[in-house]
Amino acid sequence: MHIPTEQVLVNLALYDGVRDDLQRDQGIWVGADGTIRAVGPVDDVLTEAGDARVVDLHGDHVMPGLTNMHVHLSLGLPGHFGDEVHRSNLAELVLLMADSARRTLHSGVTTARLVGESRYADFALRKGIERGAVDGPRIFTAGHALCCTGGHGWEADALEADGADGFRRLTRQQIRAGADLIKVCISGGIAGEFESIDTPQLLDDELAAVIRVAHDWGRKVTAHAGPAESVRRAVELGLDCVEHGYELTDEVTRLMAERGVWYVPTIVVSRCEQFFRDAGVPGWLMDRALSAGPRHWESLQHAIRNGVPIALGSDMPPHAGYDETTATVRELEFMVDAGMPVADALKSATIRPAQWLGQADTLGSVEVGKHADLLVLRDDPTRSVSALRTLHAVLKGGVSYRDDHGRLRDAR
């Protein structure tokens, strides 16, 4: 079990997740409980912290830990990954997910929103991480995704139902298991062999039943969705968030912005040919994913232009290699390429996901009273999100889980 050490980080430049600019000559006092006790000009923080251990970061940059809002730790894509998941018993599955969780944390993702896992293993993993038995990000999970009979994700352990009563039952089952949110598949996608992206898959009364039950129990609902018409209907029924949105329109994104419906674009999944090849996915899946790319890109640009609240999510494993970085960082770079200002992109991976999760009082920024979930970079993230390629240290709750240069041990 990892125990936080009271320490003061000095000689650093800070992006705090609140202001858009960089603050130089800052100090961060991390308490023995793993929360931030003071942050500000270094001399003021040192005075306040007294004789706490001092760690010199040699002028590097500190920012909040990242949140990835579309994660599957038991990724069930057709191919090598899916085969490994499905032939594993429950104990083996938890170990596979624990390894992915550890890699996710080391990649700088200190919080992950899971949107469809297998055999309720995510709840055991969450408990292990919370108790300190397993290294991994803070987990918020939907449990199993929900779909209609034969709907998107059924091969990857989404639970099937038909009719409003069936979906009410499945929603309550996930809440009973401890789900923090509900994930429902309302259209086809790229990974279903006998569907297309624009196949509508839930009737209005079925989706309305999910939303009603979830909201009554204080949970939000996010939906795997491709076509604009399915998204429009879902938004009008009270949906909270859209995943992928492969074929959004200007009109629908305006409606999403008006209703405050969030968007997690996962833009990497329609332009990750090498990952698909490495995963051994069938040719039809790769062709469908890559051919969706141009329209998916337009969807993201519509959402940016019309002010839809956007949060980062990769769908690919957060730590997966992509263009000499990770899928998480590449997703951020793509969002900027599509027209999102750097300041907004950074917030889409820090404070804004915390807001959606209802955790803005404890996560998402470097402020007094919040968890000391911190990244240390060589380069300035406010100039370019590609600075995250220079990540070399990760703290979660004040504990160092990655320290490439040994600087967090260089204390006096």
The model's pLDDT over 348-404, given as tens digits with 9 standing for 90+, comes to 999 999 999 999 999 999 999 999 999 999 999 999 999 999 999 999 999 999 999
> DSSP 3-state assignment of 408?
helix
pLDDT at 83: 78
CATH of domain 7-64+365-409: 2.30.40.10
Dist CA 171 CA 200 (whole Å) = 20
Q: Give the Cα separation of 62 and 339 in Å (integer).
A: 25
Q: Using 50, 70 and 90 to split pLDDT, how confident is the model at 4?
A: confident
Q: What is the C-alpha to C-alpha distance for residues 86 and 75, in angstroms, rounded to an integer?
A: 10
| Least confident window among 157-171, 174-188, 397-411 | 397-411
Taking the C-alpha atoms of residue 377 and residue 385, their distance in angstroms, rounded to an integer, is 11
Q: Is the pLDDT of residue 336 over 80?
A: yes
Give yes or no for residue 412 having a pLDDT over 60: no
- Tell me, what's the pLDDT at 411? 46
Does residue 279 have a pLDDT over 70? yes
Position 203 confidence tier, pLDDT thresholds 50, 70, 90: very high
For a pLDDT cut of 90, what percent of the chain falls above it? 87
Pairwise CA distance, residues 75 & 72, whole Å: 5
Nearest to 138 by CA among 84, 79, 191, 65: 65
> CA dist 336 to 99, 267, 312, 329, 351, Å?
30, 11, 12, 11, 17
Q: What is the residue whose two structure tokens read 């909040």? A: 64
For CATH 3.20.20.140, list the domain ranges present in the chain.
66-356
- Give the type of residue at 158: A
Predicted pLDDT at 275: 84
The closest of 208, 153, 218, 152 to 181, measured between CA atoms, is: 218
Q: Is 194 exposed, middle or buried (0-12, 13-18, 19+ CB in 10 A)?
A: exposed
pLDDT in tens, 76-102: 777 777 778 888 999 999 999 999 999
Report the pLDDT value the prediction gives residue 1, as an integer from 0 to 100. 64
Q: What is the mean pLDDT of residues 170-179?
A: 98
CATH 2.30.40.10 positions along the chain are 7-64+365-409
Topology of the domain comprising 66-356 = TIM Barrel (3.20.20)
CB atoms within 10 A of CB 136: 27
Residue 285 has pLDDT above 90, yes or no: no
Residue 226 has pLDDT above 50, yes or no: yes
User: Beta strands of 204-348 (E only): which ranges?
Assistant: 220-227, 241-247, 262-264, 321-322, 325-326
Query: What is the band of 231 on the pLDDT scale with cuts at 50, 70, 90?
Result: very high
pTM for the structure as a whole = 0.96
